[in-house]
Amino acid sequence: MDGVIKMDRHQLRPPITSEDVRRLKAGDVVTITGTIYTARDAAHKRLIEALNAGQPLPLELDGQIIYYVGPTPAKPGRISGSAGPTTSGRMDPYTPALLKQGLKVMIGKGRRSPEVVTAMQEFGAVYLGIVGGTAALVAQAIKKVDVVAYADLGAEAIHRFYVENLVTIVLIDSMGHDLYESEPAKYTLS
């Protein structure tokens, strides 16, 4: 079994505690049921502008989950349109400040900057992944959608999703263990 990731399975129900975060390890499968929030780079920029101006944020971040997604409009009879992850690196300039506000979980795809990984370790947070291209499947886990803030941004507004059994994998844990760093080396030819 050398080189095989040991994957544990976890259920998360927001709000997320520091204890919840500590038990998650890179490679673990995490299923989420409960309220999560969406935000992409335009919304992140506005959140940071509000913080810098000393204004209250339009949502409480302590113990929360942000999914980096801009859902497509729902077709008639559906709760949500496709909701696949966007590239997380676009949020990296804003992420440490949001982690300082108590954000515990981020969901997206792609690598994170060293600054974000360091902030995750400092503030106790994890980064979960959803495979790109699974947007229609992800939409099936979404049971309710409301716009929370920045409605003028359309799909990039901050939404509140109620999800049931949204399946993710821990890409980077709160100790800084990063699947993007550890796993590729196992598959390179020597």
Cβ pair 20, 42 in contact under 8 A: no
* Residue 119 φ/ψ, nearest 5 degrees: -65, -35
CA dihedral (97, 103, 106, 112) positive or negative:
positive
177 is catalytic: no
* Residue 43 φ/ψ, nearest 5 degrees: -70, -40
* 76 Cβ contact list (under 8 Å, min separation 6): none
Q: How far is Cα 11 from Cα 183, in angstroms, rounded to an integer?
A: 24
Q: How far is Cα 98 from Cα 50, in angstroms, rounded to an integer?
A: 11
Enter the DSSP assignment of 156: G
Enclosing H/E stretch for 65: strand 65-67
* 102 Cβ contact list (under 8 Å, min separation 6): 60, 61, 62, 63, 64, 123
From the list 10, 44, 159, 177, the catalytic residue is: 44
Active site residues: 44
